[in-house]
Structure 1
Amino acid sequence: MSKRMRKFLGYYKPYKKIFFTDMACALIASVVTLMFPLLTRYIANDVLTADSVAFDIILQVGAVMIALVIVEYLCNYYIAYKGHVMGAYMEADMRDELFQHYQKLSFNFYDDQKVGQLMTRLTNDLFSLTELYHHGPEDIVISFIKIIGAFVILMTIHVPLTLIVFGMIPFMIVFSVYYNKQMKKAFKANRKKIGDINARIEDSLSGIRVVKSFANEEQEMNRFQHENRLWIDTKRNSYHKMGRFHSGIGAFISMLSVVIILGAAYFISDNQMNAGDLIAYLLYISNLTDPIKRLINFTETFQDGISGFERFMELLEINPDIEDKHDAIELGNVEGNVRFEDVSFRYNEKSDYVLRHVDLDVRAGEYIALVGQSGAGKTTLCSLIPRFYEINEGDIKIDGISIKDIKQKSLRDHIGVVQQDVYLFAGTIMDNIAYGNLSASEEDIIRAAKQANAHDFIMGLEDGYYTDIGSRGVKLSGGQKQRLSIARVFLKNPAILIFDEATSALDNESEQVVQESLEILAKNRTTFVIAHRLSTIKNAERIVVLGEHGIEETGNHESLLKKDGEYAKLYNMQFR
């Protein structure tokens, strides 16, 4: 058994009781349906052909039939209710597992992914698996019981006609297998196109303000329609395969009826069959075509579900490139000493090195500013400290401990990041500040907001801390959003801070307020500041200038201006 198949079957394990009960109900329901033609044949051949019709026997057989109907109803109810619930539970388990896996993957993975595609694999791809997990085993059990049962019973009625009828079934199987392979390819293509459409929708709606500001609604509509037409093409292809498949199977089933009618007419005329046998035969052929249709539907469900499972596994089999060592430790009391030792980094094997042989020793509580041309690696260097990316060469140590020896959660618990592009979640202001420390009290949250100079503007809102800020904080200004992100870090209370161009997108007034908040936050903490506006880092204890070859200059503002090097060049360009 392949690894993927073991994985596929493993999701049944927590629900074995429901599964086996479901299979038992499917088995009982199948046997019940096989009983009705036998009882009908008994009435037609034995009861109605007797010298005197025994109404008491008919009533007894009728009572048995009613009892069988009740049993069938109860079994089918359990299958339809509990079986579907089991499938939903399994779908939820898989969605939990995949979402948890998403959380483990590093920035490197997300740099190359479209959010819409990832969403599709969490939703659409897994939905069809519910049907497969529930109906798959059940359809197989019901179909085989009915087919084998019908074959055995029909053989007792008339051997030659039964062999003729069942001789057609292998041709149906060959036909089904061929078109199943075609349908599998088509369904997989459909799923990819749905992912592309979701990615286009997510991209366009997330950037709706940019779209409208450039009046490019028509362009977005054209791009969406292009993806939609490609989806139609793949759908058309899959429906073409499905159409040939279903119409072919329908023709086979109709041909079975033709063969039975012609064959039975001949055998009755030759006195080898009687009317009761013909009635039973027709009823059993109806029983035979039902499981065949079930198997046909199963093959469709299987191809649809298994293509979703394969896409699910494609992501699940991507190993996180950053993982904790088995003996990784928790950080205790962090002073905040950070040391880069001959660090080199590139995003992948095909790209050039962004950082080369970086050596940097930052003392606890020191305020370090990182400057340089765009693309020099300032943000990258800071992203290496919390292990958002894994360094290729060298080492980074915090208080003398390699970050590779520290559990990622523990490491990141002691590092606060304030970014230029603030991300706020849909919800209230209280919820968003509390994200910095989920166990914080309301008093702690308000204190953090005051430290971030955010309390006054929050209280000016209609619902104060319980104001709903909309998706990504759309109802707030840039300065307000930035102060909420700072409050979030105040609440976290980390020993090491990273300010990634935190004020570069703000107006002068907002920048001044936010800068005050940042300076309060940075007090007595090891702080890395990435800044394009050099006016904001004049008072930094040390300025590190990054260039193509790594660290090119270090010093304070005055000493670097006297050197008349790269920093002086950047400074003069801004203030000329």
Structure 2
Amino acid sequence: MALNKPQQDPRANGQAPTLQPVLESLDEQAAREAREARIRQLLRGDDDELLGKAYDGRLVRRLGTYLVPYKARLVFAVVLMTISSLLSVAGPAIIGFAIDDGIRAGSWEQLRFWTLVFLVTTIIEWVTNRGRVHIMAYVGTKVVANMRSELFRHLHRLTLNFYSNYSVGRLMSRLIGDVGVLQDFVTWSITGLFRSVFNLGGIVLAMLLLNWQLALVAFAVTPLMFILTNYWRQRVRQAYRATRQRLALINGYLNESISGIRVTKSFTREARNFQHFDDLNRSFFDANVEATRLAALFFPGVDFIGSLATALVVGVGGWLVLGDALTAGTLVAFVLYVERFFDPIRELAQRYNTFQATMAASERIFELLDLEPDLVDAPDAKPLPPVRGEVVFDKVSFAYREGSKDVLHDIDLYAKPGERIALVGETGAGKSTIIRLLARFYDVTDGALLIDGHDVRDVTSDSLRQQLGIVLQDTFLFTGTIADNIRYGRLDATDEEVRDAAQAVGAHDFIIRLPDGYDSEVGENGSNLSVGQRQLVSFARALLADPRILILDEATSSVDTATERIIQVALDRLMQGRTSFVIAHRLSTIVNADQIIVLDHGRIVEQGTHAELLARRGRYYNLYTMQWAQQTQPTL
């Protein structure tokens, strides 16, 4: 840092002293500290925390309900696991018998018999293990598929209020990350846990039955094993959590950087982004080094303790063999058992974090599944019959959250069937909120919203929205063909009807010029199309759905003047005979409205036609003269 370097006195050169180097150094230090603070702040969040209790009976019981349909397979897998474990435990004893009864006794028949027995048990153990893994892989995949489908359906039942407070990244973490943790648990950990415990118990029992004195010698090192395991378990929890959290930060920043690459290049932020990513990457590297250090301590430590136990068994056992108190076959069997004794202990230690992750992932998944939508159909809700399009806002007030400040106040609005209603006002005036209430993305707080005399709270949401056509400012196209996107709101539409809708809004001409016409892939969110082309496709989608009430939320604000001329005629035809609510910045969409509603801070301050409101020289007149009149001026 420049602050630490010796600085030449500027007065020696006749220059005036300057604080610039010091200030630049302080700026760099402040920026670095800010980045580090940001990382610490992000790491303090518990959203990516994958560790919890190693066992939670409530969660385990609930997870068990997803396994009930596959209980027959699970029982069969447990049977196979038991057989394979018994055969695995019997292996060293069989080798001991082959040495004592065959090699030491000089009996070729006994040696051949025990060799054949060992070969058969090995084959059966392999077959049963393979069957167990195959069954549990199937069960784990099915459970995860069912849970992921349940989550997906549940997310579609939740309201927009939920999505306003829950990031897409967190939802993807639930659908992919947490569910993946459960798949690993079901596939490997359920039977793997019992297999490790079963093997450990079987090995201990076999050693005690062979020679309990030598077994105690082998068990003498177990206190060291427990000390090492407990030390590792306590520290590796934090290390693994740190690596996951830092990896989540890297993935999130990568996603944000790639999505916003145009903005980054526009503001020449590459160097700053490089530095921030390097900070995150270095933090992830440090966490990985710590986790690797612990792994390098634990696993070689287990091997060393196993070797120490083997040395004790060989030393004491060899002494017993020389004194004819122990056979050579038993000693060999003991050595093999000692080598296998630490395998289940090592596996159980590794499974500990898996159990913690499973409990934490399960809790978050079930918390999401238990979240009830804050807007549901009434128990006695009835389907909304085909409507004419009469819309009444009767003293409607609305707040997005209970106890928060109202964003709409006593809205009185009456729209006759077929009328065109324009909503104007400054940002935050409440225009989009009125649209959301009309589509019943939210329920009114006070008052009533009626369509053809039906309170929208008394009808099913699906039947209401099926009679609405919505075109938003931020057009969203789904991955697929152009025809698929136009047909999105009416899947039974024919190819001819799709073409007619596209022609009506002026989209047909550009579509047929594409390489595959209507079968052209639009890419992710229409990345292969221009903004204006995406907007035209969205108009065709709305037209094909043939709604009785049309909602245009600044739908023409993203298109150029030439494209607007193309769709303006189509829009007039689309709105003909339909009740239309329009939020627009374009003057041409406003002046022909039957009613212009001027909003300010959630209140209707003016209402009338374009000519009437201009004559009043009030709020609308000011908006018109400041923002829209310039659109009518010729370009010089």
TM over 0.5: yes
Partner of 1:196: 249
Task: For residue 97 of structure 1, give the secondary structure of its aligned residue in structure 2.
Answer: helix
| Aligned AA (1:401) | H
Task: For residue 123 of structure 1, give the secondary structure of its aligned residue in structure 2.
Answer: helix
Partner of 2:144: 91
Q: Which 10-residue stretch deviates more, 427-436 or 225-234?
A: 225-234
Q: Indicate how the Cα distance of structure 1 residues 77 and 349 shifts in structure 2: closer, same or farther if over 3 A, else same.
A: same
| Aligned AA (1:542) | Q
Per-residue deviation, 1:467: 1.6
Partner of 1:31: 86
| Aligned AA (1:289) | F
- Aligned equivalents of 1:302, 1:193: Cα separation in 2: 21
- Aligned equivalents of 1:212, 1:427: Cα separation in 2: 29
Q: What aligned pairs does 1:554-573 form with structure 2 within 5 A after superposition?
A: 554-573=607-626
Residues 92-120 of structure 1, C-alpha deviation per residue, up to 9 Å, x if partnerless?
22322222232223222323343333323
Q: Is the 8 A contact 2:487 2:544 kept in 1?
A: yes
| Aligned AA (1:4) | L
Residues 217-246 of structure 1, C-alpha deviation per residue, up to 9 Å, x if partnerless?
444444444443444444445445545544
| Aligned AA (1:552) | V
Partner of 2:507: 454
Q: Indicate how the Cα distance of structure 1 residues 85 and 311 shifts in structure 2: closer, same or farther if over 3 A, else same.
A: same
Task: For residue 489 of structure 2, give the secondary structure of its aligned residue in structure 1.
Answer: coil
- Aligned equivalents of 1:82, 1:300: Cα separation in 2: 24
- 1:522 alignment partner, one of 570, 575, 591: 575
Q: Is the 8 A contact 1:496 1:527 kept in 2?
A: yes
Q: Indicate how the Cα distance of structure 1 residues 189 and 378 shifts in structure 2: closer, same or farther if over 3 A, else same.
A: farther
Per-residue deviation, 1:351: 5.2
2:122 counterpart of 1:69: yes
Partner of 1:473: 526
Q: Indicate how the Cα distance of structure 1 residues 197 and 519 shifts in structure 2: closer, same or farther if over 3 A, else same.
A: farther
2:313 counterpart of 1:260: yes
2:194 counterpart of 1:141: yes
Q: Indicate how the Cα distance of structure 1 residues 278 and 444 shifts in structure 2: closer, same or farther if over 3 A, else same.
A: same
Partner of 1:80: 133
| Aligned AA (1:484) | V
Q: Is the 8 A contact 1:125 1:191 kept in 2?
A: no
- 1:297 alignment partner, one of 343, 350, 359: 350
Q: Which 10-residue stretch deviates more, 268-277 or 57-66?
A: 268-277
Per-residue deviation, 1:551: 1.2
- Aligned equivalents of 1:323, 1:183: Cα separation in 2: 45
Q: Is the 8 A contact 1:345 1:391 kept in 2?
A: yes
Q: Indicate how the Cα distance of structure 1 residues 349 and 181 shifts in structure 2: closer, same or farther if over 3 A, else same.
A: farther
Counting aligned pairs with the same residue, the percent is 36
Q: Indicate how the Cα distance of structure 1 residues 112 and 143 shifts in structure 2: closer, same or farther if over 3 A, else same.
A: same
| Aligned AA (2:69) | P
Task: For residue 462 of structure 2, give the secondary structure of its aligned residue in structure 1.
Answer: helix
Residues 287-322 of structure 1, C-alpha deviation per residue, up to 9 Å, x if partnerless?
322222222232243344444434434433443322
Partner of 1:205: 258
- 2:465 alignment partner, one of 405, 412, 425: 412
| Aligned AA (1:458) | I
What TM-score results when the alignment is normalised by the length of structure 2?
A: 0.83
What TM-score results when the alignment is normalised by the length of structure 1?
A: 0.91
- Aligned equivalents of 1:361, 1:65: Cα separation in 2: 88
Q: Indicate how the Cα distance of structure 1 residues 207 and 516 shifts in structure 2: closer, same or farther if over 3 A, else same.
A: farther
Structure 1: gaps of 5 or more residues: none
- 2:67 alignment partner, one of 12, 16, 22: 12
Partner of 1:43: 98
- 1:550 alignment partner, one of 600, 603, 621: 603
Partner of 2:475: 422
Task: For residue 435 of structure 1, give the secondary structure of its aligned residue in structure 2.
Answer: helix
- Aligned equivalents of 1:408, 1:83: Cα separation in 2: 41
Q: Indicate how the Cα distance of structure 1 residues 239 and 414 shifts in structure 2: closer, same or farther if over 3 A, else same.
A: farther
Q: Which 10-residue stretch deviates more, 499-508 or 59-68?
A: 59-68
Per-residue deviation, 1:540: 0.6
Q: Which 10-residue stretch deviates more, 103-112 or 190-199?
A: 190-199
| Aligned AA (2:63) | F
**Equivalenced residues, count:** 574
Residues 389-416 of structure 1, C-alpha deviation per residue, up to 9 Å, x if partnerless?
3433333232233323333222222211
- Aligned equivalents of 2:427, 2:236: Cα separation in 1: 50
Q: Indicate how the Cα distance of structure 1 residues 371 and 22 shifts in structure 2: closer, same or farther if over 3 A, else same.
A: same
- Aligned equivalents of 1:345, 1:231: Cα separation in 2: 46
2:478 counterpart of 1:400: no
- Aligned equivalents of 2:213, 2:460: Cα separation in 1: 73
Q: Is the 8 A contact 1:497 1:525 kept in 2?
A: yes
Task: For residue 380 of structure 2, give the secondary structure of its aligned residue in structure 1.
Answer: coil
Task: For residue 332 of structure 1, give the secondary structure of its aligned residue in structure 2.
Answer: coil
CA RMSD of aligned residues (A): 2.7
- Aligned equivalents of 1:573, 1:323: Cα separation in 2: 43
- Aligned equivalents of 1:213, 1:257: Cα separation in 2: 67
Partner of 2:331: 278
Per-residue deviation, 1:18: 2.9
Per-residue deviation, 1:331: 1.9
Per-residue deviation, 1:2: 4.4
2:161 counterpart of 1:108: yes
Q: Indicate how the Cα distance of structure 1 residues 536 and 448 shifts in structure 2: closer, same or farther if over 3 A, else same.
A: same
Q: Indicate how the Cα distance of structure 1 residues 236 and 319 shifts in structure 2: closer, same or farther if over 3 A, else same.
A: farther
Per-residue deviation, 1:14: 3.0
Task: For residue 101 of structure 1, give the secondary structure of its aligned residue in structure 2.
Answer: helix
Per-residue deviation, 1:185: 4.7
Q: What aligned pairs does 1:521-540 form with structure 2 within 5 A after superposition?
A: 521-540=574-593
Q: What aligned pairs does 1:440-519 form with structure 2 within 5 A after superposition?
A: 440-519=493-572
Per-residue deviation, 1:167: 5.8
Q: Is the 8 A contact 1:114 1:199 kept in 2?
A: no
- Aligned equivalents of 2:400, 2:296: Cα separation in 1: 47
Task: For residue 361 of structure 1, give the secondary structure of its aligned residue in structure 2.
Answer: strand
Q: Is the 8 A contact 2:306 2:338 kept in 1?
A: no
Q: What aligned pairs does 1:302-317 form with structure 2 within 5 A after superposition?
A: 302-317=355-370
Per-residue deviation, 1:76: 1.9
Per-residue deviation, 1:11: 2.5
- Aligned equivalents of 1:247, 1:346: Cα separation in 2: 61
Task: For residue 376 of structure 2, give the secondary structure of its aligned residue in structure 1.
Answer: coil
Per-residue deviation, 1:49: 3.9
- Aligned equivalents of 2:444, 2:245: Cα separation in 1: 33
Q: Is the 8 A contact 1:191 1:308 kept in 2?
A: no
Partner of 1:377: 430
| Aligned AA (1:471) | E
Residues 131-159 of structure 1, C-alpha deviation per residue, up to 9 Å, x if partnerless?
22111122122212212222222112222
- Aligned equivalents of 1:114, 1:226: Cα separation in 2: 24
- Aligned equivalents of 1:238, 1:342: Cα separation in 2: 62
| Aligned AA (1:228) | N
Q: Is the 8 A contact 1:33 1:287 kept in 2?
A: no
Residues 515-546 of structure 1, C-alpha deviation per residue, up to 9 Å, x if partnerless?
22222111111111012233421111111111
Task: For residue 286 of structure 1, give the secondary structure of its aligned residue in structure 2.
Answer: helix
- Aligned equivalents of 1:289, 1:161: Cα separation in 2: 16
Task: For residue 394 of structure 1, give the secondary structure of its aligned residue in structure 2.
Answer: strand
Per-residue deviation, 1:255: 3.8
Q: Is the 8 A contact 1:188 1:308 kept in 2?
A: no
Structure 2: gaps of 5 or more residues: 1-55, 631-636
